[in-house]
Amino acid sequence: MAALAVLMSLALAWPQTAQARGSAPTAAAPAAPAAPAAPAAPAAPAAPAAAADTFAPGFSTSVLWDAQTPVVDALGRPVQGLRPRAGGAQGPGEIEFGAHGDAVVSEKAGRLLYFAGPDADSGVLLTDRSGRGLDQDTLAVRDTGMGGIALDPMWPRRPYLYVLYTSNLKHPSQGPGRWSEAECWDGQSCVVNGRLERLTIRTRTAGGQQVRYIAHRRTLIRDQWCQVANTHSVGDLTFGRDGALYASAGDGTPNGPVSTLQQQSCGFAPDEHPRLATLDVLDPGAAPVSLNGKILRLNPSTGSAALGNPEGGSSDPNRARVVASGLRNPYRMAFRPGSSTLAVTVVGEGRHEAVYELPDPRAGAVTNNAGWPCVEVSEPFQGGPPCAGLSIAEGTVTAPAATWVHGQPLADEPCDPGGPNAAMGVAYGGLWAPSRIRSALFFGDYGRGCLWMRPDGGSPRFVAQLPRHSVRDLTTGPGGMIYLPDYQAGAVRRLEVDGSAAVSSRASAPGSTQTARPPAPRASTAGRARGAPRR
C-alpha cells in the first residue's frame, strides 16, 4: 500500500473537483420544407441536479450530446432526444462508434439513436419506415433491457448494426402476448429470453433531410437464454480482430431463492439450481447446453459458431458457440487494441466485483472459466456437482485481472464505497491516445460512480468520481479516447486528458476503433459551464 501511495502521488497527485452545470445550447434542427407541419418534439425531462464530479489531475469530461440535442425519427419528425433517468426514463446505456466517427447510442429501454459524428448537432432515432423502434420489443426491468450493440467492422459498407436485448415476448409456457414492466418487477413472475438481431441501416430523405432508418431485421439467435425477468440477463456485444462477433449473458437467476417457475419453464432439473447452468458446458454429456452465464464467439452473418471455436464441431449448436463459462453477469466486454485479449467486467453478488482479461478467448470454456456459482472470484459461494475441483489455487478457475471488495476502496479514491457495488464499463485507451492512457485498462463501478485506470503493467489508479448510477459503459472511440454514456443525466461524455490535443488525426483502417480524433466537443464539465457559447 505504501508503494501504491508513492506511485499515486507521482502520477496523479490528488483529485481536483469540478462542478457540472446546466445543459449546453444546441443548434436547431434543419427546417423542414413547407408541408404538413411536423408535431413538436416532446419536451425533454429535466436532468437531475448534477453532483460535483471529482477528477484526478489532468482529467475532465466534455459533453457530446445530451437531452437538449435535437433528434428526429425515420419520418423526419422531431422526437424526444436522449432521456435522463429523471422521471423513471431508461437512460443511455451504451455507445458504439463506426470507423469514421459516427455513432449509435442505445438506451436501456431499447431506443437506438444515430449521430453522424462527435460534433453532430442533431441525431436520428432509428426506427423502421413506419416509426416503430426496438423499444416496442424490449423488456426493461431492473437488469434487463437493451444489452449490447455493435457496428459491423466494415461499417458503413456493410450497413449492419447488431443488437442483443431482453425480449418482452412471453415464454411459451406462460401463453401468448408480451410482458409489461409492471408485471415483471417482482423478479419471480416472468420467464423471458434474450434475442440477437442484425439490423440493416439505410438512408432516406424524410422531412426535407437525410435520415437513417432500420430497413430490415434478421434474428440470429432467439429463445436460447431462458431467464427470470429483472435479473442478470443478456450482456454485451463486441467484434474481435478475427472478425467474429462475441456475445455475453448473465446467469439469468434471481438473487436469493430458487425460482421454481424458471426451473419448470426452462427445463432445469428439480434438484438443480438454475445458476449451475453457467457450468453445464463442462459436462461432455450435457445437451443442449444453456447460453446463460457464458461468452459466445459467433459468425456475424448467421449467429452460428464462428470458425475455429474449440468445440465448433459439436452437434449441439449452443456448445459449439461457447468460449467462456462460469460467469455471473458479464456485463461489458472490450478487446485490447492490437491484441486478442478480451476484458470482461463481471458484476458480483456476495463480496466481490471483478474484471477478467482472457488472453485467448478461443482457448475455450474449460480454460476461460470464472467458476460461478461455485466460487465468486476466489471464495467458495455455492456447492453442486460441477464444483468439484474448481478453484484458482488448482488452476481450474480463471483469476481476475482486477477485483475490489464491497465496502472497501480500491486505490485510495474519494468515491464512497458504501451502498450497492456493480462492475460495469470496461475499455482500453487506444493506440493513438495520449501516452498517459495508451493501452491502459479503464473500468468503473456503476453503484459507486467511480472510474479507475490500470496503466499497462501497473496498478489501478483513481481517475474520476461521477454521480452514482451514471456509468453503465465505457467505449474506445475517435482518437483512441474513452467515451461514456451518462445514464442519469441522459448524455454522452468524453474523458479528456492533458495532452489530448496532440493526438494524431490519422484515419484508421476500416473496422478499427482507432478513428481520427474529432473536432472539440461542445463543452466541458470541468473548466467552463456547459451553457457557455460554442467556439
pTM of the model: 0.85
Domain-located, residue 327:
yes
Domain-located, residue 532:
no
Please tell me the total count of domains within the chain. Answer: 1
User: Residue 88: which pLDDT band, with cuts at 50, 70 and 90?
Assistant: low
Domain-located, residue 37:
no
Rounded distance, CA 206 to CA 378, Å? 56
- What is the number of H-type helices and E-type strands within the chain? 4, 31
Residue 296, amino acid: L
Domain-located, residue 8:
no
Structure confidence by residue, pLDDT tens digits, 332-342: 999 999 999 99
3-state secondary structure 54-92: EECCCEEEEEEECCCCCEECCCCCEECCCCCCHHHCCCE
SS3 breakdown of the chain: % helix, strand, coil, rounded to 5?
10, 35, 55
Cell of 31: 427546417
Taking only Cα atoms into account, the Rg of the chain, rounded to an integer number of angstroms, comes to 22
User: In this predicted structure, what is the pLDDT of residue 213?
Assistant: 98
- Taking 80 as the threshold, does the pLDDT of residue 60 lie above it? yes
Domain-located, residue 149:
yes
Domain residues for the domain of 48 are 17-27+42-442+450-524
Domain-located, residue 117:
yes
Rounded distance, CA 463 to CA 360, Å? 28
Distance set, CA 438 to CA 45, 148, 501, 519 (Å): 37, 25, 14, 20
pLDDT cut 90: percent of the chain above it: 65
CATH, residue 350: 2.120.10.30
Domain-located, residue 127:
yes
Category of 132 on φ-ψ map: left (φ > 0), alpha (ψ -120 to 50) or beta: beta
Closest by Cα among 438, 420, 412, 409 to 497: 438
CB 451 within 8 A of CB 463: yes
* 396: Cα within 13 Å, side-chain hemisphere: 13
Structure confidence by residue, pLDDT tens digits, 201-259: 999 999 899 999 999 999 999 999 988 877 889 999 999 999 999 999 999 888 776 77
Q: What is the DSSP letter of 47?
A: P
User: In this predicted structure, what is the pLDDT of residue 87?
Assistant: 58
Domain-located, residue 535:
no
For 487, residues 6+ apart whose C-beta sits below 8 A from its C-beta are 85, 91, 92, 93, 108, 469, 470, 471, 472
3-state SS class at 199:
strand
Residue 96: strand pairing partners = 104
Rounded distance, CA 345 to CA 353, Å? 8
